[in-house]
Structure 1
């Protein structure tokens, strides 16, 4: 029995010595969880940069010349029936954009809030539309006529409009997420664009007066007149605004990637909707890539 206990004690001593010589494995120290932790990037601070990209312009000219036709036919019985005419259509164009941005990030754990200002210059971003319409308006409402008189107004309108967006500034708030070297973000804000807008309309109105008489037997006889010009409602009106400002809103999505230290690249999509200028509605969609530096 003594020999068995002595052999067990010697075996335990050898095992302890062998364990002391084993390498210090990470699993023994709980280090196996270290590889699961995320290394966060510090996005907090002031930043600036430049960008370039591609822009699509969708301009709605459907109501562009309505104000001019209303002026031509003001105080006449033709104003109401012609006010609903849509001479022009929508037009699309494309161009390049160049600009810069400056902003400030505030970071709370993985959340990033930003306030950013941008400037965009658009190269040759101009669109236009032309159109015409002609219609005979018989006895327009509101007109006072003698019995048996039928007035036929032959009205023709020809219109044209153009709109060019020169540049734009925006002030927008961003909400981002710290994904390490990546930061996806969404933004929303206000936009102010500088535009040149032109519109013209030409009207030609002629009047034919038909006379209907009734004889003693009740038979009606209509005598057709001949068309004669109506100078008061015929003519051309135009309007041009240069460097006029249009306010609007902007929203979009983007992604930034930290290249090295404070140097980062970005890609983003932006939608811009401007308020109407002379009844002309302009909508922009911008795709950009940029390069910036954060302090």
Structure 2
């Protein structure tokens, strides 16, 4: 009996030792630690630098409307000429460089944060010039020609506009998903651009007065046109221009990107960004950018 009890105790001790070693052979028995993928710690402050490639779309079609409205103010030509699209759309492209810095907060695999991002543009500029007319504006509202008269305002416009984006600052909110060494993210926020903007227009207006005369002789009625009378209109044949240097223009930004933790706190970044600015001097501006950067999380 004693030998049986001694053998049972020794067998139980050996079985306990083997059970203690099982987690080393089967990590799943240790719980979730063996099933999860190691995730980097993205929590904290970070900063870095970047280079970029930018393209911008500029719509100059209404750029001179503010000037023509001023030239033709209090005249019958203001409303019809405000509908003319004198200039064209233009695309520009260039390179740039900048810096970024921000703060992340991490809850498990979710990462939220804010960031300030600055980019300097290398000659991201474009311009447009064109002429239209003479176009005849016949009896515009408010002209009130005498009976049997037709007023035709033969109007010619010649204009040009130019815009250069110098640099852009964006303030973003970010949301990302930590997956191993990767952090894909989306962002959105406020943008402020510094731009040089100029525009000018020259108008030339000649009034044509056509008169119709009707006569009755011996019961026969005859209608005929007199020779038209041409009258230059110097009061609305003017040149107007406007220029703003280092003009700050607000807008909004949105985009997506990903970061890759290379070593310790050092990470690489690649992202796409879209910026839409409010209209400046009747000119619509938007940007698309691709950035590649290198940063460090403290």
Deviation at 1:64, TM superposition (A): 0.6
Aligned mates of 1:237, 1:28 — CA distance in 2: 84
Structure 1 28/244 Cα, relative in aligned 2: closer, same or farther at 3 Å? closer
Task: Name 1:143's counterpart in structure 2.
Answer: 143
Task: Name 1:95's counterpart in structure 2.
Answer: 94
Q: Which runs of 5+ in 2 are unaligned?
A: none
Task: Name 1:208's counterpart in structure 2.
Answer: 208
Deviation at 1:28, TM superposition (A): 8.0
Task: Name 2:111's counterpart in structure 1.
Answer: 112
Is 2:277 the counterpart of 1:274? yes
Task: Name 2:27's counterpart in structure 1.
Answer: 31
Task: Name 1:60's counterpart in structure 2.
Answer: 59
Q: Give the structure-1-normalised TM-score.
A: 0.90
Q: Does the 8 Å contact 1:254/1:267 carry over to 2?
A: yes
Secondary structure of 2:70's partner?
helix
Is 2:231 the counterpart of 1:228? yes
Aligned mates of 1:50, 1:213 — CA distance in 2: 78
Count, aligned residues:
282
Task: Name 1:4's counterpart in structure 2.
Answer: none
Residue by residue, what CA displacement relative to the aligned partner does 1:156-196 show, whole Å, maximum 9, x if unpaired?
11111111000011110000111121100000000000000
Aligned mates of 1:164, 1:116 — CA distance in 2: 25
Q: Does the 8 Å contact 1:276/1:282 carry over to 2?
A: yes
Greater shift after overlay, 144-153 or 283-292?
144-153
Residue by residue, what CA displacement relative to the aligned partner does 1:254-288 show, whole Å, maximum 9, x if unpaired?
10000100111100000000011101111000100
Structure 1 38/224 Cα, relative in aligned 2: closer, same or farther at 3 Å? same
Alignment of 1:235-254 (within 5 A): 235-254=238-257
Q: Does the 8 Å contact 1:26/1:32 carry over to 2?
A: no
Q: Give the structure-2-normalised TM-score.
A: 0.89
Deviation at 1:27, TM superposition (A): 6.8
CA RMSD of aligned residues (A): 2.1
Aligned mates of 2:20, 2:105 — CA distance in 1: 42
Is 2:44 the counterpart of 1:41? no
Deviation at 1:89, TM superposition (A): 1.4
Residue by residue, what CA displacement relative to the aligned partner does 1:21-73 show, whole Å, maximum 9, x if unpaired?
99997578642566532112110000000000100010111111111111111
Aligned mates of 1:66, 1:122 — CA distance in 2: 28
Task: Name 1:293's counterpart in structure 2.
Answer: 296
Secondary structure of 2:221's partner?
coil
Secondary structure of 2:235's partner?
helix
Structure 1 145/28 Cα, relative in aligned 2: closer, same or farther at 3 Å? closer
